[in-house]
Homo-oligomer: A and B are copies of this chain.
Amino acid sequence: MKLGIVFGGVSYEHEISIVSAIAMKDVIHTQLVYIFLDQNRDFYLIPTDIIKSKLFSSGEYKKCEKLTLEKGAFFTQKAFLSKSKKIEADLLLNMMHGGDGEDGVIASLLEFNNIKYIGPRKEACSVSFNKFLTKGYASSVNIKTIDYKYFTKNDEVKIDNFPVIIKPVRLGSSIGVSIVKSEKELSYALDVAFEFDDAILVEPFISGIKEYNLAGCKIDGDFEFSIIEEPQKADFLDFDKKYLDFARTSTALKADISDELATKIKDSFKSIYNTLFDGALIRCDFFVKDNEVYLNEINPVPGSMANYLFSDFDGVIKKLSNNLPNTRNIVINYEYVNKIQASKGK
């Protein structure tokens, strides 16, 4: 199997996508082809043997071959007297976190060009990338989330009980997120959050709430789960700490919880995954309070693909590769146009 890894993207999480993608070299045992999307939205073919984070920060990647996305594949560009060459890959793995990767852009581009890929489809992106839509979706599939208030720019934000956590609706990796302990910290936190988005969520901040992460995917109608991890955390992980997390390749420790709770968490994952996340390996982050499970967030392109949660990550990726959803074949036969023309006698 030849697997193309698409990474980078115009996103606040561009850099963590790079370390996340590089981490795959150690955990997927197949031929990898690295395809980088830079901040100008140009694609580059990055040779696997020279890939390292400095290649990107130094701008050296620009010496690599530029690619264009066309029907069925990526191609090198036509140069003087030479033809464009198809980049052979059996399928792609979407490893762009945040914008372009988790917001549905790359899913649309790949779907439009009929390219097979592992990763969230458009709708799955919308309901996980936008935390407000996550709340509505979770409630539709009968999964609890923490209470929240939703505000858009220009709304008057009134908060009665502190502490609260303020989040821009769209970003991941804790960017723009603040814990606000009192009224006097509020206005600064709102400014920060609204700098990143025009809509925010405000939730009560529940100190010491238990957090559990579970990754998985659906293969042939059945779920393939990782272990459940209780992530190590400060009050909450900031971008620096999360950054390091994205390079993780060592196996995590299984959380010490009852079988009953583990089953509850897995059932919640199944409800969320539904059919909407078919084709993707996702990580769901849950809260547990009074033995009740709450969805915190859905990571449809988790950091380093949550490889560290699986005992056989390589095997899961390979099975998933053979179980991707099909696109529906739509036949356009101009039946209605012809009918109207016939009735007009034209």
Cβ contacts A228-263/B at 8 Å (1 or 0 each): 000000000001100110000000000000000000
Instruction: Classify the secondary structure of A's interface with B.
Output: helix
Closest chain-B Cβ to A131's Cβ sits at a distance in Å of: 11
* A336 in contact (CB, < 8 A): yes
The reply to whether B104 and A126 contact each other, CB–CB distance below 8 Å, is: yes
Q: Roughly how many angstroms separate A122 CA and B105 CA in the complex, as a whole number?
A: 8
- Supposing A123-B130, A126-B104, A132-B140 touch, asked if A334 and B41 sit within 8 A by C-beta, the answer is no
Task: Taking A15-B337, A133-B140 as given, write out 7 further A-B residue pairs in contact, using a Cβ cutoff of 8 Å, ordered by the A residue number.
Answer: A18-B337, A41-B112, A41-B113, A122-B126, A136-B137, A136-B140, A243-B336
* A311 in contact (CB, < 8 A): no
Cβ contacts A109-122/B at 8 Å (1 or 0 each): 10111100000001
* A187 in contact (CB, < 8 A): no
Instruction: Give how many A residues have a beta carbon under 8 Å from the other chain's beta carbons.
Output: 67
Pick from B14, B39, B103, B240: contact of A122, CB under 8 Å: B103
**Which residues in B have their C-beta under 8 angstroms from that of A41?**
71, 112-114
Closest chain-B Cβ to A297's Cβ sits at a distance in Å of: 16
Q: Roughly how many angstroms separate A170 CA and B336 CA in the complex, as a whole number?
A: 21
Which among A16, A99, A135, A140 has the highest number of chain B CB atoms within 10 Å?
A140
Interface residues of A in 294-346 (CB under 8 A from B): 328, 330, 332, 334-341, 346
The reply to whether B135 and A332 contact each other, CB–CB distance below 8 Å, is: no
Pick from B135, B137, B240: contact of A133, CB under 8 Å: B137
Q: Roughly how many angstroms separate A99 CA and B51 CA in the complex, as a whole number?
A: 38
**Which residues in B have their C-beta under 8 angstroms from that of A336?**
15-16, 239-240, 243
Closest chain-B Cβ to A224's Cβ sits at a distance in Å of: 18
Interface residues of A in 39-90 (CB under 8 A from B): 39, 41, 53-54, 56-57, 71
* A20 in contact (CB, < 8 A): no
- Supposing A130-B123, A140-B139 touch, asked if A338 and B112 sit within 8 A by C-beta, the answer is no
Q: Roughly how many angstroms separate A198 CA and B107 CA in the complex, as a whole number?
A: 19
Between A and B, 5 residue pairs with Cβ closer than 8 Å are A57-B341, A108-B122, A123-B129, A132-B140, A135-B140
The reply to whether A104 and B133 contact each other, CB–CB distance below 8 Å, is: no
Pick from B108, B137, B335: contact of A105, CB under 8 Å: B108
- Supposing A57-B338, A137-B133 touch, asked if A274 and B152 sit within 8 A by C-beta, the answer is yes
* A127 in contact (CB, < 8 A): yes
- Supposing A109-B109, A123-B130 touch, asked if A334 and B10 sit within 8 A by C-beta, the answer is no
Q: Roughly how many angstroms separate A56 CA and B337 CA in the complex, as a whole number?
A: 9
**Which residues in B have their C-beta under 8 angstroms from that of A111?**
105
